Structure 1
């Protein structure tokens, strides 16, 4: 590994170690919005009723996770529309009990969506990058991902683990980060472009591809997140994983 590449990977891992987990939620005794700006009766009930404040905080956390899923633009737009519809319905409540029931229904719906498995059966599997990772004891960087596209193309970073390594994680979970630059990037100088994104266990989308089970860690689009007609070099880093058996990491073009 060249000195420059080693420096880039080192910078990536330091950044990932600092940001692998989502931000800790604020005190659950207060809602996710600013009570000083509460103007509707429903908002005042939430701000003065601990159970409703907790419900608002819990729903906010579940919604942030839903927004962080590596889904396509259409799915994320539908999520936002559904959330706005729910807010309008909640605001029509005429009693605190109605508000509580509204939060319970919406939280349940979002949790079900977050648990949805992306199932792919019988479709061509043609990754642009594949790497077998022998094991991961906390942190591992996978470099050498090369991309170039003349047309907008979406990619998924997929990780397939050995079933023997199946573990349940608490809130947050392990992390993943991607960083991309042009191959001629020089440390200390402004780059023509760069891209960085991170995700964590709760935000990964489970995937089942032709019977193999894994995770979609990240999703990005060349032509949106990264420029077209450019040589692109990327590194993916995994952190806080405990994988004793070999796993497979793939970067896969997917329909937009």
Structure 2
């Protein structure tokens, strides 16, 4: 059983319908992609993180930096996982980071996470 690493995504996942991960499972080639496709919770988490990434990217002042950070997360964090529990934690951490970036980009919070001027 997975840990509570996806706690930040629970409300989002429970209130939305998903079509699957942000990639085509028929073309899944790595062990990580296969783990994601085999687990509905991980598949949903991938979809949520993919959507959040696209939102942050569309409003970013420096989209190349956002792309670089996402690629680094994919290769160094997500793709380094060997277990579903590791993937759940990786998605939870990336969702939280992207959420902070989204809020900072909208002006709702400062880039350091504080509120106010």
Mapping 1:76-225, distance limit 5 Å: 76-89=63-76, 90-116=78-104, 205-206=106-107
**TM-score scaled by structure 1?**
0.34
Give the number of aligned pairs.
93
Q: Secondary structure at the match of 1:32?
A: coil
Q: Secondary structure at the match of 1:86?
A: helix
CA distance in 2, matches of 1:51, 1:67: 24
Shift of 1:206: 3.0
Alignment gaps of 5+ in structure 1: 1-26, 118-204, 209-256
Alignment gaps of 5+ in structure 2: 1-16, 110-117
CA distance in 1, matches of 2:46, 2:38: 12
Aligned to 2:56: 66
Judged with a 3 Å threshold, the aligned counterparts in structure 2 of structure 1 residues 76 and 96 are, in CA distance, closer, same or farther, namely: same
The runs of at least 4 aligned residues of structure 1 exceeding 4 Å deviation read: none
Judged with a 3 Å threshold, the aligned counterparts in structure 2 of structure 1 residues 29 and 207 are, in CA distance, closer, same or farther, namely: closer
**TM-score scaled by structure 2?**
0.72
Q: Deviations over 1:204-251 (max 9, x none)?
A: x3379xxxxxxxxxxxxxxxxxxxxxxxxxxxxxxxxxxxxxxxxxxx
CA RMSD of aligned residues (A): 2.1
CA distance in 1, matches of 2:96, 2:39: 21
1:50 aligns with 2:40: yes
Structure richer in helix, relative to its length: 2
